[in-house]
Structure formats: structure tokens, C-alpha cells
């Protein structure tokens, strides 16, 4: 990063500035030095020309290559003025304003709005500079909503100066001027996307580089260090070690696991295992696309290259069960390890398969890794309330497997021996060591409210008064309620900007949503369609999540995230005077679910859906149809009434308009 006042920036030699940026780039991140040097040189020349002979701008700040931490991304230039912040993305040699580039610079502006303390409550204007393009005239006045201009301004190298001068005339005069000198010292605390985090770790960035510098980083770093230290100790002392890492929803267990599997300190003999096929599909494709660009590989070769980094747990298991083949991996990270099959379920599910299981998945994984002469490590990531399948054995199943395998040393977060749910409790095994660092207690997924998980838990456990108290004490909660499907779609369209993406989700058991035209589900076993839904964008690809056409179910979205979620509430979980009633649609009728495990799984389905959004969730509760016995309006009315009692704000036309419309300067500076 290079920071100068405009007064000092203008007389400086462009070649010297470009060389300084190139030196820093070589030290901190990989770049094509010659090509990048030319781009920086031209960028500096364009900026100096644009700011020349402008006395009012001399005390502004020019910051080049401002780091936004995630994936090593950097903003080409930030212009900090007393009236607001201008974010500039330069495409040197470009003759068109590419849609991807427009999204890129808008996303940078949104990133500053959400995570940079010095930018909050001030206008942030994204500008795309395609040096050889012919921009059309801007539409003044500039619409400013939620702090970031709703239009990405466009300029060429020749027109940038005039655009910036015109822009300063239209920015509202603030009651409180932006402190130009203090801006770059302000806190910047980004929250990583799990997909971006995986890409960054795979590119050998450290976990500390992709999270904030406050409690989140400390929490994640301590847990990551504890995992890596245990792996090193096992290697040094020739131990077989299994460890259990716990955390509140959205606290970064997956991030720590990914770091252990293929982060900056990774070994070549480690892999990330998950029984979640969607997570396999999306992570593999994201890593492959990124590696193809970074390493200049064909996409097919890149896909083969990353296969060893993320593996489907069932395939790994079946490859080694009943053989004496020693796995290539010394370290396996087991995602959502509490969801491994119980012994009875494993035997029943595999009875007609080519590879028959004779033990629980936990038992088989322990035996497979025990084939190593010397050391081996299993890192179990444990997420509470995420069980959505029948036959998931929980932490207790790992305890039963370890009880008859005394050669394994066990490290665990204290939570696993204190859990109130017997399925999630580890017995007091001989030699069990507890390490508080293996528990993550700081949520990092939700960028709006760290109390989201507590509120969801209160709602699903029928504690309306507690949920309402959380909503009042920690307002605003990132949830809104609507009975209007079109209003939900309009709100999602208005909020999905830059690279922020929206999507519709619903329970796989919500079979009667098809009556409202919501019957198309994302097939979570189809790798290509899953990758398109999570990684591609609408309108370029109608298969993308933000086309708002295809529903992601709990099986599609578990372990992943969207920025904005439209949750379509189904008739499979309704309110009765006794509380939540899970149901299953069989034939032409709803049937009550009475089995305790299946009831718990259905409630957990809605826990998964309610905690998928990084930003906000709109809950659409259908109105039902009095002439359809499978959709009586009173059932949906009861759900909506309970959510309102729990403190959910109604979406309504006013909220949609507030999100979509420009705001006045006075209102803008009142935003928090």
C-alpha cells in the first residue's frame, strides 16, 4: 500500500511510485511484475492528470493498492475526501466497461461500508476507469443508498478528472466532515466467505491474513495454533491422535479445518473430508477455477490437481475399508464429524452395497488411520444442532469407538464432555485431555449481528420471550418477515449488489411450496449444477442462486453461505398450541413426525436455513389457501404470528423502498 496527500502525490515521479508498488508486491503477494508495473505506471499518470490544477483537492488522500485482506485482493486506488470516499478500479487498456469489473469495484465499496470503521456514515462512490473506453454521460444527481452509491460511475483515462470534479458538486455536504488523516488508521475487520477463505488458504495465505484484527482473529488463531501444535506433537512423538474442535454456529470451525488441511502450514499428506456432497462440489470447483488462473492450468487439469485437497468422506472410507492399504494421508480433517453414521445405520445402509460396513463410520476412520506405522491425526469438527439425517451417531459414537481403541490419544474442547444432549457428549475416556483453545466462541459468519445463533436457538426451542428480548437488546436483528413472495424477491434484487449474492432456500420437506410455484430444488448431488448455483451469477447464468428460481435445501446449503437469503417457510414445521410440530408429506396428506430423532432433525433443518445468511434473511411465510386442505391459512398465520412475537420486523413496502431508493444526505449520515 502507498499513501500520500494529493499535495505530495502530484509532483512525485510516476516511475518511482510504480517501482515502490512493485517492490511491495514481490514481498507480499505473487504478481506478473512487468505487466503489473506498466499498469501501475499508467494508473499513476491518469490519477496525477485528473488531480492536477485542483487546489481544493490538495489535502485529500490518495491510497494505492489498499489491501482488503481476503484472497490478497487490493483496491487499485482510494481517494479520501472530507465529503466521502471514492473507490477507483483501473482497467488499463480496456475499451469497454465489463460487467465483472463493475461488480468488482462496487463490491470493494460495499466491503468498506460493511467492515471499515472510517467509511461508515459517509458516502462511498465506486468508479470504474477503463482507460480507452468512451463513457456515456453520468446521471446526476448520484443516488446514494446505504452509504454506497447505487450507480458505478464510469470514466476513461481522459475523462476521470472532469468526472471527479462533477462528483464533488453532487456529494451532500456532511454535518460531520470525514477525517481524511485518520481514515486509513481506522479499524478494518472483514468477515471471510468460506469459499474465499478456502481459496486464500489454498494459495498459502495465513489464516490471520483473511480475518479481522480483533477478537475473531485471536479466537481463530488460537484454535488454529492448537490444532497445528497437536499435529506437530503427534509427528514428533509418533502418536495416534484424535481431536474434537467445537464452536458456536458460524464461528469458523470449517476455516480452522481448512487451514489444517491445506493452509500455509499444510503438509502434503493432509486432506479435508466431508460427507456433505455440496461442500465437496463447491470447494473443489472454486479452488480449481482459482488455481487455473493462478497457475495457468487448463480447468480440467486444475480440477484433478485439487481433488486431493477436498474429498468426499464416503469415497475415502470405502477405498480403505477391509483392505490393508495404508492411506496417503497422515492427517484427515472430518467436517461435521458428529454426523458420521452410527454402527447400526452404517450396516443397514451398506447391506446391499459393494463395500459393506461392519462398524460406525467413526470406528472405520479410526481403523483406517491406524494402519499408519507411527503417527496419524484425525481432526473432528463438531457443530451442534446441525444433524439433519437419520442415523447420525453424534459425538457419543466417536466415544464408543475410542473406548475400544485405547491406542488413540484424545484432545477435546471442554464442551464435548459437558453437552446436555447425550448424542453430543464424549465419555470420560482414559487419558482424555481438554484444551479450551479447541472451542471457538466468537461468531464470524454474520456481519450484522453476533447474537443471531442465540436468537435462532430461542425461536426453535419455543422461547418466544427470550427471542424477543434478544431482538430488543441487540436490534436490529438480521431477519424480516413477509407474506408476499414478490416483495421478498424485490428486496433480494435490491440488496444483491457487487459480488454479494442472494438465493432462495427451503426445507426439503416443504413439499407443498410447489403450489406457490416454488417446486424446483437444487439437486445437491449434481456437482455441475451446485457449482453454477453457488459460484456463477445472474443474469449471465440463469442457474445461479441470484436468479431466484431454484431453491437450495438444507442438503444444498449446509456448510456454505449466501449474503442474502430468502427463506421459504413450508408446511413441514408448523405452530400448534403445544409448540413446533414437524410433519412429513406422504401421498396427499401431512403426517405428524413422532420419532424423537426425526423431529429433532426437522427442527435442525430450519436451524441450518435460518443461519445461512452473512447479511440478512427474509422469511416468506405463505398465506395458504382455504380451499386446499394441505395449506390451511391458519397454520401459516400461526407461524407468522410466532415469528413476530419473537421480534421479527415485517418487510413491507416501506422496507423494500428504503433499501432500493436513494437516501438524502441527512438520512445518509444518520446510518449506523
CATH for 331: 3.40.50
Q: Is 466 exposed, middle or buried (0-12, 13-18, 19+ CB in 10 A)?
A: middle
CA distance 83 to 105: 19
pLDDT for position 445: 56
Q: Is 618 within the bounds of a domain?
A: yes
Q: Please indicate, yes or no, whether residues 284 and 374 belong to a single structural domain of this protein.
A: yes
Q: Is 259 within the bounds of a domain?
A: yes
Q: Is 671 within the bounds of a domain?
A: no
Name the β-bridge partners of 144.
Answer: 149
Instruction: Kindly report the average pLDDT of the chain as a whole number.
Output: 85
Total count of domains within the chain: 3
Strand 270-274 and strand 479-482: the pairing is unpaired
Return contacts of 118-121, CB within 8 angstroms, 24+ apart.
118/178, 118/179, 118/182, 118/183, 118/184, 118/185, 118/186, 118/187, 119/85, 119/147, 119/183, 119/186, 120/147, 120/671, 120/672, 121/147, 121/176, 121/668, 121/669, 121/670, 121/671, 121/672
Structural domain of 605: 452-666
Q: Which of 409, 440, 471 is the last residue of a domain?
A: 440
Q: Which of 386, 406, 440 is the last residue of a domain?
A: 440
Nine cell digits for residue 90: 483501473
CA distance 183 to 185: 5
DSSP codes, 622-672: ----TT-TTS-HHHHHHHHHHHHHTTPEE-HHHHHHHHHS---HHHHTT--
Q: Please indicate, yes or no, whether residues 102 and 163 belong to a single structural domain of this protein.
A: yes
pLDDT for position 72: 54
* Stated pTM of the model: 0.76
pLDDT for position 194: 65
Q: Is 357 within the bounds of a domain?
A: yes
Q: Is 641 within the bounds of a domain?
A: yes
Q: Please indicate, yes or no, whether residues 534 and 632 belong to a single structural domain of this protein.
A: yes
CA distance 593 to 585: 10
Weakly modelled stretches of the chain, pLDDT under 50: 27-30, 71, 145, 210, 212-216, 654, 657-658, 660-672
pLDDT for position 192: 59
Nine cell digits for residue 560: 456454505
Q: Please indicate, yes or no, whether residues 425 and 457 belong to a single structural domain of this protein.
A: no
Contact 640, 481 (CB under 8 A): yes
Q: Is 540 within the bounds of a domain?
A: yes
Residue with cell 484424545: 410
pLDDT for position 28: 46
pLDDT for position 213: 40
Q: Please indicate, yes or no, whether residues 425 and 488 belong to a single structural domain of this protein.
A: no
pLDDT for position 29: 45
Q: Please indicate, yes or no, whether residues 245 and 198 belong to a single structural domain of this protein.
A: yes
Q: Is 647 within the bounds of a domain?
A: yes
Q: Please indicate, yes or no, whether residues 241 and 283 belong to a single structural domain of this protein.
A: yes
CA distance 398 to 619: 36
Question: Residue 466 belongs to what H/E stretch?
Answer: helix 464-473
Contact 339, 386 (CB under 8 A): yes
Contact 342, 357 (CB under 8 A): no
Q: Please indicate, yes or no, whether residues 124 and 172 belong to a single structural domain of this protein.
A: yes
Amino acid at each position: 500500500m502507498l499513501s500520500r496527500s494529493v499535495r505530495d502525490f502530484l509532483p512525485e515521479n510516476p516511475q518511482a511510485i510504480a517501482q515502490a508498488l512493485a517492490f511491495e508486491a514481490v514481498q507480499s503477494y505473487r504478481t506478473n511484475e512487468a505487466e503489473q508495473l506498466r499498469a501501475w505506471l499508467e494508473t499513476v499518470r491518469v490519477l496525477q492528470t485528473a488531480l492536477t490544477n485542483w487546489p481544493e483537492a490538495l489535502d485529500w488522500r490518495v491510497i494505492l493498492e489498499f489491501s482488503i485482506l481476503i484472497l490478497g485482493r487490493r483496491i487499485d486506488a482510494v481517494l479520501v475526501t472530507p465529503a466521502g470516499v471514492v473507490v477507483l478500479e483501473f482497467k488499463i487498456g480496456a475499451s469497454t466497461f465489463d460487467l465483472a469489473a463493475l461488480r468488482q469495484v462496487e463490491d470493494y465499496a460495499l466491503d468498506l461500508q460493511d467492515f471499515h470503521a472510517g467509511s461508515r456514515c459517509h458516502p462511498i462512490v465506486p468508479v470504474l476507469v477503463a482507460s480507452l473506453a468512451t463513457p456515456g454521460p453520468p446521471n446526476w444527481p448520484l443516488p446514494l443508498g446505504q452509504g454506497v452509491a447505487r450507480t458505478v460511475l464510469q470514466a476513461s483515462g481522459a475523462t476521470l478528472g472532469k468526472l471527479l470534479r462533477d462528483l464533488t458538486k453532487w456529494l451532500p455536504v456532511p454535518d460531520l466532515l470525514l477525517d481524511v488523516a485518520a481514515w486509513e488508521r481506522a479499524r478494518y475487520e472483514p468477515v471471510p466467505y468460506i469459499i474465499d477463505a478456502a481459496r486464500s488458504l489454498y494459495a498459502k495465505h495465513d489464516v490471520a491474513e483473511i480475518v479481522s484484527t480483533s477478537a475473531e482473529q485471536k479466537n481463530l488463531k488460537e484454535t488454529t495454533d492448537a490444532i497445528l501444535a497437536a499435529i506437530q506433537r503427534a509427528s514428533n512423538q509418533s502418536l495416534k491422535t484424535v481431536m474434537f474442535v467445537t464452536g458456536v454456529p458460524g464461528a469458523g470451525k470449517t476455516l480452522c479445518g481448512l487451514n489444517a488441511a491445506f493452509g500455509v502450514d499444510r503438509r502434503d499428506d493432509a486432506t479435508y473430508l466431508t460427507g456433505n456432497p455440496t461442500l465437496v462440489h463447491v470447494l473443489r470447483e472454486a479452488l480449481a477455477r482459482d488455481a487455473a488462473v493462478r497457475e495457468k492450468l487448463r480447468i480440467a487439469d486444475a480440477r484433478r490437481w485439487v481433488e486431493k485437497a477436498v474429498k468426499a468422506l464416503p469415497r475415502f472410507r470405502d477405498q480403505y475399508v477391509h483392505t490393508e492399504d495404508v492411506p496417503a494421508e497422515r492427517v484427515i480433517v472430518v467436517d461435521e464429524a458428529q454426523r458420521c453414521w452410527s454402527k447400526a445405520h452404517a450396516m443397514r445402509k451398506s447391506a446391499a452395497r459393494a463395500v459393506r460396513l461392519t462398524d460406525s463410520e467413526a470406528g472405520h476412520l479410526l481403523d483406517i488411520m491406524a494402519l499408519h506405522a507411527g503417527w496419524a491425526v484425525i481432526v473432528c469438527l463438531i457443530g451442534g444442532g446441525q444433524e439433519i439425517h437419520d442415523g447420525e451417531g453424534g459425538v457419543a459414537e466417536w466415544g464408543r469407538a475410542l473406548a475400544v481403541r485405547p491406542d488413540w490419544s484424545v484432545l477435546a474442547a471442554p464442551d464435548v464432555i459437558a453437552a446436555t444432549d447425550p448424542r453430543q457428549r464424549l465419555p470420560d475416556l482414559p487419558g482424555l485431555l481438554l484444551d479450551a483453545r479447541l472451542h471457538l466462541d466468537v461468531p464470524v459468519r454474520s456481519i450484522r449481528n453476533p447474537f443471531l445463533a442465540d436468537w435462532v436457538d430461542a425461536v426453535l426451542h419455543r422461547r418466544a420471550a427470550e427471542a424477543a428480548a434478544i431482538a430488543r437488546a441487540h436490534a436490529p436483528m438480521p431477519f424480516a418477515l413477509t407474506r408476499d413472495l414478490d416483495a421478498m424477491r424485490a428486496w433480494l434484487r435490491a440488496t444483491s449488489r457487487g459480488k454479494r449474492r442472494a438465493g432462495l432456500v427451503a426445507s426439503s420437506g416443504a413439499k407443498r411450496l410447489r403450489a406457490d410455484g416454488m417446486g424446483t430444488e437444487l439437486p445437491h448431488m449434481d456437482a455441475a449444477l451446485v457449482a453454477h448455483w453457488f459460484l456463477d451469477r445472474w443474469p449471465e447464468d440463469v442457474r445461479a442462486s441470484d436468479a431466484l428460481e431454484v431453491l437450495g435445501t438444507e442438503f444444498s446449503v449446509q456448510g456454505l453461505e449466501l449474503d442474502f437469503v430468502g427463506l421459504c417457510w413450508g408446511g413441514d414445521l408448523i405452530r400448534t398450541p403445544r409448540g413446533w410440530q414437524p410433519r412429513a408429506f406422504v401421498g396427499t396428506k401431512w403426517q405428524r413426525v413422532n420419532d424423537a430423532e426425526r423431529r429433532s432433525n426437522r427442527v435442525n433443518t430450519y436451524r441450518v436455513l435460518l443461519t445461512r445468511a452473512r447479511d440478512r434473511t427474509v422469511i416468506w411465510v405463505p398465506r395458504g389457501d382455504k380451499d386446499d386442505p394441505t395449506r390451511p391459512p391458519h397454520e401459516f398465520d400461526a407461524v407468522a404470528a410466532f415469528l413476530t412475537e419473537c421480534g421479527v420486523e415485517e418487510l413491507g413496502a416501506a422496507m423494500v423502498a428504503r433499501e432500493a431508493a436513494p437516501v438524502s444526505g441527512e438520512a445518509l449520515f444518520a446510518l449506523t
